Structure 1
């Protein structure tokens, strides 16, 4: 196990957490009181990102339903764009999950 690789990963995670804490939230919500700069802030950021992915997937599904039933003035291009955005968001979330699982496994395999 390469310790330098693990230290680099920890530094990247800290930098991303600091960036997430410093940036304004997209949904307009505020971080929980006392969570700024703690591990709870990472969990909240991850939770809000997953909620965003879920919202995009639900919107794409709703547009598909509206288009197929013909009840709304929804064009095929709107449906396709929403579907592709939802797909890309899901793929990005999947890659983040894979990296987190890999990092967890690497940390658990470190022999002290």
Structure 2
């Protein structure tokens, strides 16, 4: 299971690097200016630069992607059940497996985030 999580994290990092563009320096995913609210954009409560998506946006995009995969899978399954010749069994099964894997990965990331939050909250001050 650790290999799957590492794979997902590397995919998230690769996606983040694609979103930043070719001039972004590799290294830490969190820039030092992103740690202080409003440091990069000057707006109170803003985190990160104007061009780079924040954690909330990245997580929202990932959840939207899982939702789209599940909707596509459901639509293909329904089309197959109704006898649509364009919805063959192989496409339906692949779409269903893709949506299942995406959902499991999202649940695993959520579990890791909850565990990290609980670990931080249980730290002695």
Q: Distance in 2 between matches of 1:23 and 1:37?
A: 16
Query: Matches of 1:49 and 1:107 in 2, distance apart?
Result: 24
Task: Tell me which stretches of 4 or more aligned residues in structure 1 moved more than 3 Å.
Answer: 16-22
Aligned to 2:101: 88
Inter-CA distance 81–18: structure 2 relative to 1 (3 Å threshold): closer
Q: Deviations over 1:16-36 (max 9, x none)?
A: 9876543228xxxxxxxx567
Return the offset for 1:72. Answer: 4.4
Aligned residues: 89
Higher relative CO (Cα under 8 Å, sequence separation at least 6) belongs to: 1
* TM superposition score normalised by structure 2: 0.62
Q: CA RMSD in A?
A: 2.8
5+ residue gaps, structure 1, are 1-12, 26-33
Q: Is the 8 A contact 1:18 1:37 kept in 2?
A: no
